[in-house]
Chains A and B, each alone.
Chain A
Amino acid sequence: MTRFLAIIRVTLLQLIGRRRSIGLLLLAAVPAVILLLVGLNVNERDTEEFFRTVILWLVLGVVVPIIAIVLGSGSLGDERAQKTMSYLALRPIRREVIATAKLLATWLASFLVAGAGALLTAVALGITIGSWDETLAILVATAVTTLGFVAVTQLVGYITERAVIIGLAYLLIWETIVTSAASQVATTSIWRMGLSAYAGIIAGDHWGSALGLEARVVADLKDLLSGVGPGAGGALVKVLGLSMVSVVALGYLMRERDLVS
């Protein structure tokens, strides 16, 4: 347990460097600022609709993934780039334990930054429409999305130095264009797993109905979800599955491939 916690502590310090953190925190605050600017100039219903159709996508489909891609790529990528892989890996620790500790630390770092932005967005929403009911759902959706992206990019970051570019290209091409156009593959979209968790918490029980506030929520979200069903439990299972695959694959690669190039 000491080893596990030691890796988490050092990885957090490694990832949340001063310059990188400031840049990512500024990025994380962008949706809140936009929401606040729009919300203070339109009525509550329009603000709510703008939040669900634009800001949620901006948070879960753009900002949170970018933060997770940058930090996820650095999780093991920084160890390789800074040549510290030998210091970490030539220790009596199972490779899967290293991968799990790294994943947990990177998820925590990403969630600290992305979650701060998500919280600001929830605050902006509260200020503009006077409701704070969605705060938990936004934070859970952010947590789910960051875990999914971190799991994937940590693995890519171990394999290649170009993980950030690959991650951003994946975000643009697959997550944004392909899965929006083809609903058959939308279930593989990581950010929609987060959105699905949000929808599950906000309107899960009313998804099939067409009455009241929940019906409006459903209508706003259906386009973004692109056919993916709502449900926090299902979304969590999916990202945990991704995380397990990532850990197992990393353990295998660290055993079978050279640890340094």
Chain B
Amino acid sequence: MTTLSPAFVRNPTIEIAEISKWFGQKVAVSNVSCSFGPGITGLLGPNGAGKTTLLRMMAGLIRPSRGKLTVLDTDPRRDTTVFQRVGLVPEDDAVYPFLTGRRFVEYGAELAGVRNPSSAAAHAITAVGMDDAAGRRIEGYSKGMRQRIKVAGALVNDPEVLYLDEPLNGADPVQRVRLIELFHHLAAEGRTVVVSSHVLEEVEKMASRVIAMVDGRLAAAGDAAAIRAAFTDIPYRVRIDSDVPRTLGAALLGREVIRSVEVIDDTLHVQTDDLGDLGRLLPSLAQSLDVRLTLVQPEDLSLESVFRYLVHGR
């Protein structure tokens, strides 16, 4: 079996080849190639990284300036039938304030050609927990309610591919948990869910795979740990809690696997190029020194650390 670049997946539903988008002189997305498949993929990047532009191109809202993009083997700009199988929750407040929530979702179902719009709308409204407020006009909704009714509008045609642009904006903590559960459920059913967000914690909770963008380019792809491992020139930072941090730190100094040792507030922090070697060294060293280890934890495997390296290089 051939090895696949982490930017690509087997059996993709969305394929992007050397895609670029520029607005006048400004390049928003530059020569990005990647693919998406069933499950949740996070589209990550700071503001202005080009993730919304990429998402909009995938959704068929804007045209690539160069490159090729297919969704379910179809060019969304050429063949509108693909929209029967696609849903989008845009970042914008894209609702009709004069409609009730129920009518808004029904309208989406009617536009999508769903066989029984009322029933499909009721199902989608229940899925986002908006049954009680569905009869009210959207103009009276809170930000979080608008967000959820937008999600219902995107789900009403039972899409195989779902694009979510900052989907948790305005949602309260309880709603966030519920929506994340819903997205996981949709992914578990085999749908392709692409979530664009600049909130790392949200992406970390939702997506196992991440496509990271910086300055319009694809900066990294894979899970957080895999992306972190690609930064071979930046050592890992590991926190080690023990009863005698200074003794252990002194013993670690000079070892080939250790780059630096630091004790801050009675906690030992070391930098290493190889987590595996450190993991093998520590137990034997602790045993020989009669040191009790209470915690060994890499400090920069989180998406936040990865993001910091991607954006700031440190």
Contacts and interface: CB of A to CB of B under 8 A. Distances in A.
Contacts of B90: 83, 86
A256 B94 CA distance: 22
A258 B62 CA distance: 4
Interface string B61-78: 111000000000000011
Contacts of B82: 92
A87 B95 CA distance: 8
A93 interface: yes
A144 B108 CA distance: 32
A16 to B, nearest CB: 10
Interface in A87-104: 87-95
Contacts of B99: 10, 13
Interface in A236-261: 255-260
Nearest to A257: B63
Interface stretch (B109-117, B184-192, B225-233, B271-279): B109-117
Contacts of A89: 61
B59 interface: yes
A95 B107 contact: no
A94 B80 contact: yes
Contact of A6 (B56, B62, B111): B111
B39 interface: no
A6 B110 contact: yes
A2 interface: yes
Interface in B68-104: 77-78, 80-84, 86, 88, 90, 92-99
Contacts of A94: 80
Contact of A90 (B88, B92, B96, B98): B88
Interface string B98-134: 1100000001101111000100000000000000000
A128 B297 CA distance: 93
Contact of B61 (A91, A93, A258): A258
Interface of A: 2-3, 6-7, 10, 13-14, 17, 82-95, 255-260
